Structure 1
């Protein structure tokens, strides 16, 4: 079964873009996600509107409880929403069945999580190519070799995860996310388990993937240094977009977040 697509009317002009601008990679409009019911209900997303440009590295930030991880999971088709619209390319995600969303994630998306989620019994190369095997596809050897060389994994391909350092495991996870040439890579705190050296190297690679390889990357992070590698930062507060930063730097990110964190925290992280 394939995931049907339909054109996005007016997508090229979304958010004030020029008429000949490329269509965005993803668009969320009026997204609401509520956990619980009655007096204990939590509105993790409360009418969020987000446009993700294609071929760019976008960071999503916000105080604890802002809904940044919930937004990423919703846009990636991992969680259903209660209201609103989410489109990936020409596909309306909110109307898909569970099977269609599974196929969407398998065939068109890549994921990098803080927990590496590698299969212990497989070698590094087998872990990298696992999404292709699950989809019944063969690896593009030139692309695989480029990923392996860029990420410095050439002498580790036969090693199992237990024989790799944390940094090497994360680089395997990144290669796995990119090996299918996905439309979008979603990265949730990808440097959280890495030391500073390996973390900076990973961020530099994600930025290169966007700027030189045209890969769209959406990265949830709480780290101003990580956000400074992005082309753009989307800031969430109380389940809504509270602002954006273009060409962010550590000082501009810190200043923007300082203003938000002065507000009273209303709920736990979601």
Structure 2
């Protein structure tokens, strides 16, 4: 498969007919001071096309999770701009960011974060109840059917397998029809069969349902399900890859991990 060459961060955009779901420009995030200072993000820029599954990869410590957390409004940045649609996230107050996350963003975490005392149905609809909204019955039923949860809705998390819990978490992330879903290592706690099923669903959510998904992963197999992979090195987006395969992802990662690839940085 033909891959795009390494490019500068400012030019990393994928063609799309819809406006971008999110845009990050020149993000800087610093932890600590003096000798302990760590620049987790050092001018990271990224455009997330709407209705696609975008994977974020990079060597350990490259800033993958920090980029996702700042774009999702979970963490403030020290410099730069983050736009979710037409909304400038960096100028919002903490209360406004909380509302933004509740109303327009979905999350899928490695640890599931289900409420033990609630049934699967109650866990799925929890974001709607917190927002004071009623469930769209047709959309709820479609999600439940696609994810194969119809006979598990009255079960609590302890009565569900790991794969079923993760599917409940995915349904919860999508039930509000968010503008964008952020998934942080979503297959990390799943076996290969359940992990592949989850990735296939996220791929389908983007391809058939028009959902925008951003997934942080270290797994080339997981990345191969994406429409596009972006790569970070030292807190900057340095390259992207359209139509990835396991082989092309592994090749690009090997290139980025070579010392020569960082020359001139």
CA shift, 1:17, in A, is 7.0
Q: 1:216 to 1:125 in 2, by over 3 A?
A: same
CA shift, 1:40, in A, is 1.0
Query: 1:1-270 maps to which residues of 2 (within 5 A)?
Result: 15=11, 21-263=17-259
* Structure 1 CA distance for aligned equivalents of residues 13 and 91 of structure 2: 26
Corresponding residue SS for 1:154: coil
* Structure 2 CA distance for aligned equivalents of residues 52 and 159 of structure 1: 36
* Structure 2 CA distance for aligned equivalents of residues 16 and 240 of structure 1: 11
CA shift, 1:20, in A, is 8.7
Normalised to the residue count of structure 2, the TM-score between the two structures is 0.92
* Structure 2 CA distance for aligned equivalents of residues 206 and 230 of structure 1: 9
CA shift, 1:262, in A, is 3.0
Q: 1:212 to 1:155 in 2, by over 3 A?
A: same
Aligned residues: 252
Which segment is superposed worse, 237-246 or 18-27? 18-27
Corresponding residue SS for 2:259: coil
* Structure 1 CA distance for aligned equivalents of residues 129 and 77 of structure 2: 30
Structure 1 contact 25–88 (Cα < 8 Å) conserved: yes
Q: 1:18 to 1:252 in 2, by over 3 A?
A: closer
Q: Structure 1 stretches of 5 or more lacking a match?
A: 1-13
* Structure 2 CA distance for aligned equivalents of residues 15 and 62 of structure 1: 18
* Structure 1 CA distance for aligned equivalents of residues 189 and 14 of structure 2: 40
* Structure 2 CA distance for aligned equivalents of residues 18 and 205 of structure 1: 22
* Structure 2 CA distance for aligned equivalents of residues 18 and 80 of structure 1: 26
CA shift, 1:18, in A, is 10
Structure 1 contact 15–51 (Cα < 8 Å) conserved: no
* Structure 1 CA distance for aligned equivalents of residues 194 and 12 of structure 2: 37
* Structure 2 CA distance for aligned equivalents of residues 20 and 131 of structure 1: 29
* Structure 1 CA distance for aligned equivalents of residues 211 and 203 of structure 2: 9
The root-mean-square deviation of aligned C-alpha atoms, in Å, is: 1.8
* Structure 2 CA distance for aligned equivalents of residues 22 and 117 of structure 1: 32
Runs of 4+ in 1 over 4 A off after TM superposition: 14-20
* Structure 1 CA distance for aligned equivalents of residues 17 and 27 of structure 2: 24
